Amino acid sequence: MSATPSSRRGGAILITGGAGYVGSHVVLQLTERGERVVVLDDLSTGHAQAVLGAELVVGDVGDAATVARVLRDYAVDTVLHLAARTIAPESVRDPLRYYAGNTCATHTLLSCCAQAGVSNFVFSSSAAVYGMPASGIAREDTPTAPINPYGASKLMSEWMLRDLAAATGLRYAVLRYFNVAGSDLRGRIGHSTRNATLLIKAACEVATGKRESIAVYGTDFATPDGTGVRDYIHVDDLARAHADALDYLRRGGEPVVLNCGYGRGASVREVLRALERVHGAPIPVVEHPRRVGDPPSLIADAYRIRELLGWAPRCDDIDLIVASSLAWERSLGEQRG
């Protein structure tokens, strides 16, 4: 879906974390359709060169003065909030960093948005809010039971947004990401985070000689091949979900929480086999015991986003996801070489 020209008049769109992996893909899609976008990013994990077609303001989303200035100077009427710390194991080791960087920073941002009269808000949340659902499949009404501070920090932010909207009439959409992977199909931007923990990114680093081996945590889960099953969504499809959510809110849509996934999973072994097919050679694998808190399977029930937003994925193919990731990883090697 795309917005009509009349719906684009007015203020700018602020994208926090727009220099990061997912954020940069959202920026690219929105600027390509003619939106006026400003990015706020502290560049702690993002990259300035990934911001294409938008103005970048370097700053912290938890800094009220900076946020208020950006909202005012750019006449922002819509915020897409993607800035966050996202590594679940790190959140267990350093929980206060996650509550500060995610929950408290979101509080600051929402306070500034309320004062500035922002109309629409799209929040980047996570499947981590569900914890370990017994069936392995999560619907939006599945009870939330996060098992780490990362998931808890996201859920607290959802609650703040919900309650603010009830008090002020702010229109919002919460997008609960499942496992994001892949890179821009034209090779313009991609996943450039150093020391990344995501499986496909790490496996591509092994394939390109940047890591010695890929670690597989747990081979005795109650899944078809013993390894964990996850719902992998291509970053381009996820970015399109943000654009579709924005269009929905502009049409006057009610507050909504939506899963962002394909509704089917791939095991760790299946992902690695896909990489080996695309790469044309095996990669070294080291098996480890399960990590505490890893669910055997976590798959989205993704019916609602298709029905409500008309969102239609275009990259629902594990080989395509892996191939775009590997192509980007190879291009990074050429850039650094």
HSE value, Cβ hemisphere, 13 Å, CA-based, for 178: 28
| Domains of the chain, start order | 11-181+233-260 (3.40.50.720), 199-230+263-336 (3.90.25.10)
Residue 301 three-state SS: coil
- Name the amino acid, one letter, at 288: H
Q: Return the structure tokens found at 185.
A: 């199909």
- For residues 141 and 143, give the distance between their C-alpha atoms in angstroms, rounded to a whole number: 6
- Provide φ and ψ at 325, rounded to 5°: -65, -45
What was the pLDDT predicted at 333?
Answer: 72
What was the pLDDT predicted at 1?
Answer: 35
Rounded to the nearest angstrom, the gap between the alpha carbon of residue 29 and the centroid of all alpha carbons in its chain is: 15
Query: How is residue 290 annotated by DSSP?
Result: P
Whose tokens are 């579709």? That residue is: 244
Question: Active-site residue among 21, 99, 130, 150?
Answer: 150
Note the helical H segments in the chain: 21-32, 64-73, 88-93, 95-98, 105-116, 149-168, 199-207, 235-250, 268-279, 303-309, 318-336
- For residues 227 and 207, give the distance between their C-alpha atoms in angstroms, rounded to a whole number: 20
- For residues 259 and 128, give the distance between their C-alpha atoms in angstroms, rounded to a whole number: 11
- For residues 278 and 271, give the distance between their C-alpha atoms in angstroms, rounded to a whole number: 11
- Tell me whether residue 150 is one of the annotated catalytic residues: yes
Rounded (to 5) percent helix, strand, coil in the chain: 45, 20, 40
Taking only the tens of pLDDT, the chain with its 337 residues reads 333 333 344 689 999 999 999 999 999 999 999 999 999 999 999 999 999 999 999 999 999 999 999 999 999 999 999 999 999 989 999 999 999 999 999 999 999 999 999 999 999 999 999 999 999 999 999 999 999 999 999 999 999 999 999 999 999 999 999 999 999 999 999 999 888 889 999 999 999 999 999 999 999 999 999 999 999 999 999 999 999 999 999 999 999 999 999 999 999 999 999 999 999 999 999 999 998 878 899 999 999 999 999 999 999 999 999 999 999 999 997 655 4
Torsion region of 182: left, alpha or beta (phi above 0 gives left; psi -120 to 50 gives alpha): left
